[in-house]
Each structure stands twice: as C-alpha cells, then as structure tokens.
Structure 1
Amino acid sequence: MDQQVKEQIENSINNSDVCLFMKGSPEAPQCGFSMAVSNILKILEVKYQSVDVLKDQKIREGIKIYSEWPTIPQLYIKKEFIGGCDIIKEMFENGELKKVFDEKGIGYKK
C-alpha cells in the first residue's frame, strides 16, 4: 500500500468518531453485509462517516492491509478497529456494541 492511500485511510479514521468502510453508501449499500452494519448504526441513530470502497480500488485493498482484516465492511470507533459484519451483528445482539459506544463517549439511541 502506498503512502497516499495509507494517509487517505488514516484521515477518514482520524477525522470521524465512527467510520464505516463499506461497499456503496448508507443510502444505497452495494452488498448485504455493508447494508447490515449501516442498518445497525441507523437503528442506534449513530452519527458516522462512511467510505465507499467501490469508488477506489486502492482504498478497497488498502483498508484490508491497514486493518489486517480480509473483508469489508469494517467499522472503526474512535480510531479503533471494531470488526466486520459478523462481529458487529453479534455485538449489537448481545449489547456489547452499546457498551463500546458508552465507553468511547459516542451518542446513540438508548
């Protein structure tokens, strides 16, 4: 991954408390996994930034290297990689995701 791609990824993560790298946009997800995670964030009314990895192949591949995680979507909260779709769904279902938002001071619908 070149330095410019790394900086773009880091800027997205650093400039938003909650950042979701996904395929498509929250309004028009381009895969079911991305839709599932963005829907969870919508249900919780969490303000977040999304990055459409389909718009830039270098970002799409670079985020996988950056996080050492092979799949998209990827959720970051306060610069920390939280996980992909399966992890986020499980955390949402068992209440862990709300705990992370509480610990990191992120507002959501309680």
Structure 2
Amino acid sequence: MTDTATSADPIHAFIAQAVADHPVVLFMKGTPDAPRCGFSSLAVQILDHVGVEFVGVDVLQDDGLRDGIKAFTDWPTIPQLYIKGEFVGGSDIVREMFQAGELQALLTEKGVPTGQG
C-alpha cells in the first residue's frame, strides 16, 4: 500500500475501516442492487454467483472517496474488490480469477463462506 499517514486522511481512514470491518468489500459505482457501470455490474454478478456476502460501497456518492480509493491502492479503476483486508483487483481480474476457479479458492482459503460450499 502506498498511502501516507492513513489516520491523517479521513477518506483513507474510512476505506481502511470498511475493509477491516467486512470480510468482502466491493468499492463500486452504484450499489449492488443498482450498479451504475458495466464493470461494477459484472463484479456484482460474479460475487452473487459464487454466493458470497459482500458490502458494496458506492464511490459516486463522494468525489473524495472516488479519488481516494484509487490512491489508497494505487489502482486506477473502479470497481475494487477486497477480501479479508487484501486488495484483489478490479473487474477484469475478478472475472479472470472466477473463470479459473481462483476467486472461489481464495474465498475458501480466507475462510469466507460462499453459497457454493
């Protein structure tokens, strides 16, 4: 992680807290029920398909959050998936991991229950 003084930055502190409080967090455009971009929608569909409970955080509600999540991970795109505090990747990586069975394996390895267990 390439952030500086997380506690001094309220956006980074919020992100860190969300990631710490929930086993699976998807920072996305829109909400899980109403994604507002195709990439966020794809990530939601994959997570729903594997049957994992997750928290969706709508970055469109706050410009600071939308920019802050990119700085937090040094990753330029949204959505961003975190599992047990670990940044996994964006939509393409999540799709590739799902297709290869790696996403399901990672969830199992991290002790996150899925509907496929």
Q: TM-score range by the shorter chain?
A: over 0.9
CA RMSD of aligned residues (A): 1.1
Q: Residue 109 of structure 1: CA displacement?
A: 2.0
Tell me which stretches of 4 or more aligned residues in structure 1 moved more than 4 Å.
Answer: none
Q: Name structure 1 gaps, 5 residues minimum.
A: none
Superposed CA deviations along residues 71-102 of structure 1, whole A, max 9, x for unmatched, are 00000000000000000000000100011001
> Aligned match of 2:17 in 8, 11, 17?
11
Q: Name structure 2 gaps, 5 residues minimum.
A: none
Secondary structure, counterpart of 2:34 in structure 1? coil
Q: What is the CA–CA distance in structure 1 between the aligned matches of 2:12 and 2:89, rounded to whole Å?
A: 19
> Aligned match of 2:69 in 33, 58, 63?
63
Aligned length: 110
Report the TM-score, using the length of structure 2 for normalisation.
Answer: 0.91
Q: What is the CA–CA distance in structure 1 between the aligned matches of 2:108 and 2:58, rounded to whole Å?
A: 27
1:30 equivalent in alignment to 2:36: yes
Superposed CA deviations along residues 19-59 of structure 1, whole A, max 9, x for unmatched, are 00000001000000000000111111111111000001001
Aligned to 1:86: 92
Aligned to 1:43: 49
1:109 equivalent in alignment to 2:115: yes
